[in-house]
Structure 1
Amino acid sequence: MKNDSTKASLVGERYEVEVGPVAHGGHCIARHEGRVLFVRHTLPGERVVAEVTEGDEGSRFLRADAVEVLQASPDRVPAPCPFSGPGRCGGCDWQHAAPGAQRRLKVEVLTEQLERLAGLAPQEAGWDGTVEPAPGDKVPRGEVPAWRTRVQYA
């Protein structure tokens, strides 16, 4: 008999969702039946099949990976790194986005964090809202940028 305090895991469940705004940590926000999903490997405006990677029936939110892109963003590009994608490297958050889109997404995250957490507009924090290309960001098409900002070990 199942313990009443144990909620059924939703890991592995798949939902078709419309992807909303970007969030911190390489995720975008989607909703399914009123519950927030933080979905990696997707871009705002896309329609994807998201597979839950973390959470149960009692969770306030779920984490998921986009395992199938049904309607792609115009900013989507093939990830140059073979280790990018669901269940792979944790340091390739935005490799599936064109470099200009990556910088726009970072501006959105920084602006939202400043406003929500610090109560400041970017100008009040002394930031003009620009994210410059990182050294090594500009590489020939098909080559992998030679830098990482984070590593996730399985």
Structure 2
Amino acid sequence: MSKLRFLLVFCTMTAITLSTASAGLIAMTETEMHHVTAQAGVFIDVDKVRFDSEMKTLSYGSDATGWISLNDVRISTFVNSGKPIEVGMVTEYNPYEGRTMEMMKIDFTDVEIRMDELLIGSIRVGPRPGEGPSFGSIGITGFHANMSGNVRIWTR
């Protein structure tokens, strides 16, 4: 769940950064870009980003079968990158498509994720979201992870 949230926050921050950064740029054709140096990508510096979130109810089910609900969910996470995250376009072989193609590549090294707390106050099964007897709560504290690698994004 924390990796999914990190990915969501990371993609949102990337979209905001790229849309803000491109506001004052002049559009260039591919041919013009091939003649320009030092324009190969974007660097994103993630410096001590804090993410705190609370959710009243996360539920799954239907009125016909009943609902399972995670109530009073609280997440407190910290993300930091030892080096800037590099985003650029590359032409590489894609083994899933079986051909060479242009794709977006995101390289990251030494990204630290520290989750101070993930708390699910109650887990309930009932006739409506958030209702029913509680099966207890779940909590994670002191979670720490370091991530390095690359992500490639392409279209079909």
TM-score bracket, normalised by the shorter chain, equals under 0.3
Structure whose alpha-carbon radius of gyration is higher:
2
TM-score, normalisation: structure 2: 0.23
Report the structure, 1 or 2, having the larger strand content. 2
The higher relative CO (CA closer than 8 Å, separation ≥ 6) is in 2
